[in-house]
Every structure is written in structure tokens, then in C-alpha cells.
Amino acid sequence: MGTRKKVHAFVRVKPTDDFAHEMIRYGDDKRSIDIHLKKDIRRGVVNNQQIDWSFKLDGVLHDASQDLVYETVAKDVVSQALNGYNGTIMCYGQTGAGKTYTMTGATENYKHRGILPRALQQVFRMIEERPTHAITVRVSYLEIYNESLFDLLSTLPYVGPSVTPMTIVENPQGVFIKGLSVHLTSQEEDAFSLLFEGETNRIIASHTMNKNSSRSHCIFTIYLEAHSRTLSEEKYITSKINLVDLAGSERLGKSGSEGRVLKEATYINKSLSFLEQAIIALGDQKRDHIPFRQCKLTHALKDSLGGNCNMVLVTNIYGEAAQLEETLSSLRFASRMKLVTTEPAINEKYDAERMVKNLEKELALLKQELAIHDSLTNRTFVTYEAMDEIQIAEINSQVRRYLEGTLDEIDIINLRQIKEVFNQFRVVLSQQEQEVESTLRRKYTLIDRNDFAAISAVQKAGLVDVDGHLVGEPEGQNFGLGVAPFSTKPGKKAKSKKTFKEPLSSLARKEGASSPVNGKDLDYVSTSKTQLVPSSKDGDVKDMLSRDRETSSIEPLPSDFPKEELRPIRPDTPPSKPVAFEEFKNERGSEINRIFKENKSILNERRKRASETTQRINAIKREIDVTKEALDFQKSLREKQGEYENKGLMIIDEEEFLLILKLKDLKKQYRSEYQDLRDLRAEIQYCQHLVDQCRHRLLMEFDIWYNESFVIPEDMQMALKPGGSIRPGMVPVNRIVSLGEDDQDKFSQLQQRVLPEGPDSISFYNAKVKTEQKHNYLKTMMGLQQAHRK
């Protein structure tokens, strides 16, 4: 970790013609500010009112330009961010004191741009100066309005509004906002476009102290990730810069807020009060608990406040005598912030893909060294590569010959071969067990002694007596082994066959086939089962694949469908979309709606099965825990009574042995059920994809149908048909919508030819013009839609 350092706090005074020179004085070093108040003579002769305050800060910015403010406050924080250090710059102060101007600036004038656009410019300039590193830049824009989180970039067409509300999530890497969109930017102009897009979505309001007052806290975050182009190290660095524009604190008596603005002011003052409480707690070294979770603002800034971060505070104040009380409050906040310490450190991470490549190179070098060592010791026949199928088959043959007695010993070459020999022993043993079991199944009906349902079914069928012996088996002589077919049993009626068929069918349905039935005798059982209950996995997967093909193969309906000679009379006012949607599902969208319902029913069935499987897994897990506790108790009891050994082997009692066997069986069941659950989850994910695809297609077709039926004028529909008056690249004169684009193009060309601020402002103005064009287009389209509705 890095060394602890204090937060830097600066004060910026808003220029005014009515500056209180007698009450506000600056120190000669421009690092202190003194406040002097006149005594209130109305309090009498004994007056202990404090009239003088002095605040020590890192700098006082009075009549400072935007260039000077950035150089003093933000330049070092941004430059260190490219070295792997997180940074936070926060603007705090009274409403109307110039926080937004300091952070964002005037977007109409390049010279008056604020800290945020200058930081973006510095990031891309420094990236150009570092050709040895591949640096990616991502940005996000968060708004906290009335204790709710909003994404200011959700209006972009490829983002869209979030279905679920955003939440603040903590993990070992820090705090992040779940649901907040993060956008990759490769050029400076793209970053400015995202900034201007977010600025147009901010919530502002007007009151007596500020015509354009920000009614929310906004956090613009720049995420940086740097990989070395020259070194093959798997290590890389990440960092982020939080640029925080806080809403201003208000005195309701001065601002005159009412209604919605009053509610917003209440939330703003409340969150700023919680922020100050968190700052006071951070400045107190004796405090263990910091109340970060009291509000969304402090929770979102938990990493920045006293964490792994270089933090700078800019306090904006008025220089007028009328606002002196709020100025004192803001300066107290700044002095408390200076007591807070942070511990910035470089954020280093490891690239898994590059780490694998480096390990593969190291492995190849080690193999070469082993080959050299083996050649020096005359062991050239030893290989360290993975065994192929031919070598494994040869080892399997050696193991079988060794077990049969035709091979005396197996030659050992290396450790890999030893492991494969033991593995082949296991394979041979498993194959022999399966052969024995299949031989028994062909001859006999095997019933588990602990399967009481199977025993009861066989007793009802008359095959086993009450004592568990086969019918017709003389005592001491194994007579009557096996199960005779029903056709050879005298005196059995059809009713007895039916009673035997039902329990055996239930047994055959059991998972694991604990009591399998002879296939020849019960062909009709398996046949009926196949007809009633198809294979759960294969059949369902085929079902889903066929539905997927059916959904994807739906031809898009033409815009003039259905073709009728007599068009239905269009109503004067279009129906509401819910009513029209029901009509669409019954007529033109009936086929898509049917597929959607069927896919949804399959999805619900899979979810139900997954829920049941989860319940069984939980029950098995509880039984495993109980068995483990009983086994531990038996072990502790054995240790207390004394352990017995015979030829180096531990001797345990029967109860403990049965518990060990039971635990083994439970774990096997648990693994089997868990595998089934994983398969079901994969099917659920696939079904959900089909349902979403059908839903999207249904809504898209509905929009086309609704526009054709009720929105697009009939004359326009006739013109859009083949052979109509509209050809590609042609629009009727009476439909032309003028957006003033030609004038804007000329203006942008003029900006590129003569830019008074220099060529660095081209990206800034291009992004500004594109954002304005987009919003002008959206406003025009909304106006046309409203005019058409009227």
C-alpha cells in the first residue's frame, strides 16, 4: 500500500461587484482566508459572539481563470491516474456559487470549459505521448436525484433504459454501480459527445439565487487501463478518475423554493448533511465506524472518501456580505476535509491470457532442460509429453495381461506412466463390474433389500412370500430362481396382471433403476412408458431446437400485409396500444403469439423442475450434515474409549462403518442431483433466449402493424408501395423537414478554418454540434408526431 496523505482543499471565490472587502481577507501566501463579522449591538453589553475566523487551505483562487484553476487543482491528479493511481475531484458549495461552472464550464465557449473537458483532453494527450502502452478509456455518467440513481447516458440508442433499478454494490475490488452503462471511447471527440449527451439529460430548475440550478449530484467517471506493448509481463495497471459535481446547499428562506423544487432541496440538504457527518467521522482518528451507507452519495463515494485515492476538494463560495453565513459553513466543511487522510496506491492487476502464455513458455524451457539432463544420464527414451491413444491402449493391454497372469511385471518408465497404469486398473475393474451386473440382469430380477416399495410390489404379485423367499423354493435348495412369465402362471387372472404392472412401472420410473425388471417379461411396461414419458433431456432439447428453428424461420410480414381489395375503414382516433395489441395477437400476430406462449410454458416447466431439484439437493445436504455430525461423534467416542489396530489398520465398529457408507451414498446422490441442476439451468437459459426472441419479434411486428393501420397516412402508404411516387433517394416536397443542417455544416467548416482558440478545440466543437443536431432532430420528430395526432 502507499503512504497516507491528506486531502487537498482549495477555495474558489465567485467574482462579484459587491465584494465584502472589510469582512473577507486573503493571506499573503494565497493559502489562508480570514472572515471578520461586526458585533451585533442588539445583544447587549455582554456579548460573547465570535466575530473572527481563520481557515488554512491549500490555495485560494480569487479572480482565477479556468486555465489557472485546472493547472492548480486537477492536472497532477489526472497525470497520476495514468500511472495507476485513482483520483477524485469534488466541487462543493452553496447553490449558485459556481460549482457546475468550475467542473463543466460553459459548453458554448471552448475557452471557458471546465475541469471535466480539460481532464478528458489531458488524458488523450498523455496517451499520444505513451506509444509504448496500449491504454483504453471508458466513461460513465451517474446522477443521484432525490436518493435515486440514474444513468445520464441511457438515452443513447444502443443503451436504452434499464429494466431493473440501479444499485450500489461492494466487492473486494471496491464499490461499483450495478446497471450503470460504461462506454468505450477511442477518440477525444467521442468522449466529448458522451459528456454533452449526459449534460443535456441533467435535471435543473430555477429559483431566486440561480436560474439554472443543478437539482442532483452528478459523478462523471473516467476508467483507464494500461497494458505494456514492449514487455510481455502479465501485469497491467488500472485507475479511475471521479469528477463529482455536487448540488448546492440551500437556505429555503433565501431561495424561495416551492413544490417540486422544495422537495429536491430537502433531499439535497439531507445528503450533504450525511456527507459532512461522514467527513467528520473520517477526520476523527478514534472513530471505528464511518456512516457511509446513510445515503446514496456517501455510499457511491466510499472509495474516494478516505480510500485508495488522490482526492481534491474545490469549495465554491460567494464574496458578498449577504451570503457570509453560508460562506462560513462551506469553509468549515473544507477545513474538516483537510483532516481526512487517504492511502493512494498503484492498482496492479494480472492478465490471465498473458499469464498463460508466459507459463507455457516457461514450461517449454523446463522440458528442454529435462531433455538435456536425460540425454546426459542416458535416459533418452523418457518422454514428458501427454500420452496418446496408442500408448494408453498399450498400457491397458499390459494391465489385462498382468491380471491374467501372462505378464510377470510392468516396466516403469516415468511418473506419468505410473498414473496411467493405476487409471487402467480402475478402468478394467469398472468394466468387469459392469459385465457381472449385466449378466445377472439378463438372468434375474434384482431387487434391493432396502427398497421396501419393490419388495411390497413383488409380494403382492405372489413372487415372494412374507419371509422374503421365492415362491416354490425348497429350503436349502436353490429351486425356482428367476421370475416366470405371466403367461406360464396358472390361476392368474387379468386383474393380477394389472396389479403387478402398476408397481413395476413405478419402479422402472425411479432414477438409478434400483430394481430393474427383465426386459423380455415386461416389454409392454417399457413400451407404455416410452409412449407416455419421453426422455426428459433429448426430447426437450429437440423440442427447443425445433422451436428455435420455427421462431427464426418466421418470414417478416410485408408492410402492406394483409392484401385486400377493400381496406377497412380507419378510425378517426387510433385505439390505445393495449387494446390494439390484443387485436394484433388474435389476428396478424397469432402465430408468433402461439410460439411465444409455448416457449414460455416450456420455460416455466423447466423452472419448476429446477426448483424441485434444488429442494432435493438442500434436503440431501441437510442429511449429509446430520450424518457428518453423527460420524464425528462416533470418532470422538472411539478416541475417548481407545483405538484398536490390527496389522496397522484401524478397527472401527459397525455403526461408524454404516455411517461412512451412508455418507458416501449421500455424496454420490448430491453430485448426481447437482449435475441435473446444472443441465436444467443450461436449458432454462436457452429457453429464456427463445422467449426473449419471440417477445422482441412480437413487439416489433406489432409496431409495424400499428403504424400501418393507424399512424402512417394512407396517401403515404400508397406512395411507399412498389410503383408509388417515392423512389430510393427521393422525398415528396410537401414532406421535407428542414433542420437547418446546411447552416450547421457551414458553421462547422468555418470553425475548422478559423478557430480563435487554436486547433485543440476542433474535437470540442464537433462533439457540441453533433449533439445539438441530434437533439434538434428529436425535437422536430416529436413535433411532427404531435401535429399528426391533432
The pLDDT, as a whole number, for residue 482 is 44
Examine the domain organization and report whether 426 and 345 are in the same domain: no
**Is there a domain that residue 774 lies in?**
yes
Cα–Cα distance measured from residue 782 to residue 513, given in angstroms and rounded to the nearest whole number: 67
Does 489 fall in a domain?
A: no
What are the grid coordinates assigned to 269, written together?
440538504
Q: Do 632 and 749 fall within a single domain?
A: no
412 pLDDT above the threshold of 90:
no
Over residues 209-229, the mean pLDDT reads: 84
The amino acid sitting at 676 is D
Same domain assignment for residues 174 and 287 = yes
Nearest 5 degrees, angle CA 767-CA 771-CA 774?
A: 140
- Report if residue 236 sits inside a domain: yes
> For residue 9, what are the domain limits?
5-38+49-350
Answer whether residue 447 is part of any domain: no
Say how far apart CA 511 and CA 514 lie, in whole Å: 8
Taken as a whole, the chain contains a residue count of 790
C-beta of residue 53 within 8 angstroms of C-beta of residue 288: no
In a domain, 571, yes or no: no
Whole-number pLDDT of residue 210: 65
Residue 13 included in any domain = yes
762 lies in the same domain as 674: no
Residue 691 and residue 661 in one domain: yes
Q: Give the CA-trace dihedral at 95, 96, 100, 105, to 10 degrees.
A: -170
Domain's final residue, options 324, 350, 376: 350
Which of the listed residues 350, 365, 383 is the one where a domain comes to its end? 350
Could you tell me the CATH number of the domain that includes residue 582? 1.10.287
pLDDT per residue as tens digits for the range 431-440: 888 888 888 8
Are 164 and 250 in a shared domain?
yes
Grid cell listed for 523: 416389454
Residue after which a domain boundary falls, among 309, 330, 350? 350
- Known binding residue 44? Answer is no
> 3-class secondary structure for 325-345?
HHHHHHHHHHHHHCCCEECCC
Any known ligand binding at 99? yes
- On whether 383 is known to bind a ligand per the annotation, the reply is no
Comparing C-alpha atoms, which of 350, 398, 140, 400 is closest to residue 244? 140
- How would residue 393 be classed by pLDDT, with cut points 50, 70 and 90? confident
Q: Any idea what DSSP says for residue 322?
A: G
Q: Say if residue 183 is in the same domain as residue 288.
A: yes
96 carries a ligand binding annotation? yes
Q: Is 100 annotated as a binding residue?
A: yes
CA–CA dist 74, 107 (Å, integer): 19
Residue 31: pLDDT band (50, 70, 90) is confident
Which residues make Cβ contacts (< 8 Å) with residue 343, sequence separation at least 6?
1, 2, 3, 4, 5, 307, 308
pLDDT tier for residue 304 given thresholds of 50, 70 and 90: confident
pLDDT at 789: 67
| 495 assigned to some structural domain | no
Q: Can you tell me the distance from the alpha carbon of 350 to that of 638, in angstroms, rounded to the nearest whole number? A: 49
Q: How far is Cα 752 from Cα 762, in angstroms, rounded to an integer?
A: 6
* Residue 221, C-beta contacts closer than 8 angstroms, at least 6 positions apart: 139, 140, 141, 142, 240, 241, 242, 243
- Residue located via cell numbers 425445433: 546
pLDDT for 419 beyond 50 = yes
Cell of 442: 439378463
Domain total in the chain: 4
**What cell was used for 135?**
491504454
Cα 298 to Cα 10, 45, 180, 341, 768, distances in angstroms: 21, 45, 17, 16, 32
> Do 135 and 274 fall into the same domain?
yes
Predicted local confidence at residue 605, as pLDDT: 92
Whole-angstrom CA distances from 504 to 453, 485, 516 are: 10, 14, 9
Q: Does the annotation list 97 as a binding residue?
A: yes
One domain for residues 382 and 243: no
Looking at every residue in the chain, the average pLDDT score rounds to 76
Instruction: Tell me, yes or no, whether 531 lies in a domain.
Output: no
Whether 119 and 26 map to the same domain: the answer is yes
Interval 45-58: pLDDT, tens = 666 667 788 899 99
3-state secondary structure of 210: strand
- On the CB side of 195, CA atoms within 13 Å amount to 32
The mean per-residue pLDDT over the stretch 129-152 comes to 90
H-type alpha helices, 385-482: 389-404, 415-443, 452-460
Give me 480's grid cell. Answer: 425356482
- Spatial neighbors of 66 by CB under 8 A, at least 6 apart, are 105, 111, 112, 113, 114, 118
User: Comparing 781 with 140, which gets the higher pLDDT?
Assistant: 140
Amino acid identity, position 296 = K
Confidence (pLDDT) at 28: 84
Distances (CA, A) of 505 to 452, 496, 499: 15, 14, 10
Max CA pair span of the chain: 126
What's the CA gap between 58 and 7, in Å, rounded?
Answer: 9
Of 105-114, 290-299, 370-379, 732-741, where does mean pLDDT reach its minimum? 732-741
| 701 in Cβ contact with 592 (< 8 Å) | yes
| 328 in the same domain as 401 | no
Tens digits of residue pLDDT in 90-134: 999 888 888 899 999 887 778 888 999 999 999 999 999 988 888
What is the share, in percent, of the chain residues with pLDDT greater than 90?
Answer: 16
